[in-house]
Structure 1
Amino acid sequence: MVDRKNKKHTRGKTWLWRTLLVLGLVVGLALVFNEQIKLFVVNWMGQSTMKTISKETVKKNEKKEGNFDFKSVKALDVATVGKATTSKVNGIGKIAIPSVKMRLPILLGLANENLSQGAGTMNAGQKMGEGNYALAGHYMTASGVLFSPLKGVEKGDNMYITDMSKVYTYRVTTKTVVYETQVQWIEDVPGKKLLTLITCASPTEGETHRIVVQGELTKTTKATSSTLRVFD
């Protein structure tokens, strides 16, 4: 005769092991696909924000205040990205570098919500086509996300930014790697109209070096359906 008590105990152990196995698989899959999911969400947010940027929204958002505290910038982990999905950002333009297939929204300031989906302005009051227009962005493990494509930029490549009223074309003149304290790269240079892009030299947290890509203004044109096509 079967011992019902032992049989019930065996079923309980089997159920427990199955539950632990399923949980283990879920955790394992989350760890494996965590990075892919994060990159997908980051890319989706950036492209979604691009669609909301218009001449009217730019004029409205340019009047707002941004966060320009470099020390407040955090590594782009899952929690930061998750928070960004429910946060409002202030889009003030777009940037495109066709040679490396980089197209992103330009957002006011260095808030983590901004850097989770696009390029953040580094100085308060900076204007496109004037002085040194400096933008920061995260370097990711996927070559096509955020500022990762900057590793593939070469001297002579064209870079475009727009405030939806005009399109500014810059030609890359400098690409270098500098130490994080060399902030002079984002300062104005007398007599020059520059676009400066800054990102970490690697996705490693605590990275102390930065990739700097800088270009000089070569042309300013009116924003039309034709000239804005480079941002699509």
Structure 2
Amino acid sequence: MTQSNKKQPPRKHRWLWRTIFTLGILLGLALIFNEPIKLFVVDHLSQWTMAQVDRDNVNKNEKRKATFDFKGVKALDINTVGNAALNRDLHPIGKVAIRSVGLKLPIFKGLSNENLSAGAGTMKADQKMGEGNYALAGHYMTNQGILFSPLKNVKQDDIIYITDMKKVYSYKVTSKQVVNETQVQWIDDVAGKKLITMVTCASPTEGEVDRIIIQGQLQSVKKATKQHLKVFL
């Protein structure tokens, strides 16, 4: 019986290459499924938070301190989303809906990355629904149904609804613009007008410098009855 002259690699080398190969497969799977998992968690977190919004919680949460540093907002990664989902330390102050494009989200006070993992964040410290220029920011995601992605499909005369669970405010869309990120004047109050302004990136590309600006004018204010709150369901 003859023996092959071929030398077999040492066992430890075979183990090393198998480990590297396995890790490569796992890394590849993580990269493939990272985005779908993130989108699933964000959507679930938004819906879960919407169900927690009631008048008592809103009253408490409106008194909380918040940060309004838009420059501190980062692109959503799986770690930020995961932390928000695990901690569930979210404090909504209302809801926003645009039924024509399927947007229904909780509103949070301030622009923390945790807030923007689940919904819309208020952009100014003292803004009030139905007064001045009520400004909201949100992330544009790759999925058209997640967070502020549906803003891309908003059209003139669409209706934006917001509520603090005491009243429901209806705004008619009057303008839709794509502007540079430096044009922050869009969120300023305008004398004699009651506005809402919604801001998101023009694309999901990290480092995007353009912003979609949706602006509407107040049309009506109604009591937050079960009937009037149906627009958020």
Q: When the two structures are superposed, what TM-score results if normalisation uses the length of structure 1? A: 0.93
Quick one: distance in 2 between partners of 1:161 and 1:200?
21
Aligned in 2, Cα 1:2/1:83: closer, same or farther, shift over 3 Å? farther
Quick one: distance in 2 between partners of 1:206 and 1:91?
28
- Within 5 Å, which residues of 2 pair with 1:64-79? 64-79=64-79
SS of equivalent residue, structure 2 residue 46: helix
SS of equivalent residue, structure 1 residue 188: coil
Tell me whether 1:51 sits opposite 2:51 in the alignment.
yes
One-letter amino acid of the structure 2 residue matched with residue 168 of structure 1: Y
Quick one: distance in 1 between partners of 2:13 and 2:72?
49
Tell me whether 1:120 sits opposite 2:106 in the alignment.
no
Quick one: distance in 2 between partners of 1:42 and 1:152?
20
Quick one: distance in 1 between partners of 2:207 and 2:19?
38
One-letter amino acid of the structure 1 residue matched with residue 58 of structure 2: V
Question: Bigger CA drift: 14-23 or 126-135?
Answer: 14-23
Q: Where does residue 60 of structure 1 map in the other structure?
A: 60
SS of equivalent residue, structure 2 residue 189: coil
Q: Where does residue 178 of structure 1 map in the other structure?
A: 179
Question: Bigger CA drift: 78-87 or 116-125?
Answer: 78-87
Contact 1:87 1:113 in 2 (8 A): no
Q: Where does residue 165 of structure 1 map in the other structure?
A: 166
Aligned in 2, Cα 1:136/1:2: closer, same or farther, shift over 3 Å? farther
SS of equivalent residue, structure 2 residue 93: strand
Number of aligned residues = 230
1:63-98: CA deviation from partner (whole Å, max 9, x where unpaired): 111101112111111122122222512210000000
One-letter amino acid of the structure 1 residue matched with residue 114 of structure 2: E
SS of equivalent residue, structure 1 residue 112: coil
Q: Where does residue 27 of structure 1 map in the other structure?
A: 27
Quick one: distance in 1 between partners of 2:62 and 2:74?
24
1:132-151: CA deviation from partner (whole Å, max 9, x where unpaired): 00000011111001000000
Q: Where does residue 84 of structure 1 map in the other structure?
A: 84
Q: When the two structures are superposed, what TM-score results if normalisation uses the length of structure 2? A: 0.92
1:159-213: CA deviation from partner (whole Å, max 9, x where unpaired): 1000011111111000001111111100111111111000011111111110000
Quick one: distance in 1 between partners of 2:154 and 2:140?
14
Contact 1:132 1:186 in 2 (8 A): yes
Q: Which runs of 5+ in 2 are unaligned?
A: none
Q: Which runs of 5+ in 1 are unaligned?
A: none
Task: Calculate percent identity across the aligned residue pairs.
Answer: 61
Quick one: distance in 2 between partners of 1:11 and 1:99?
63
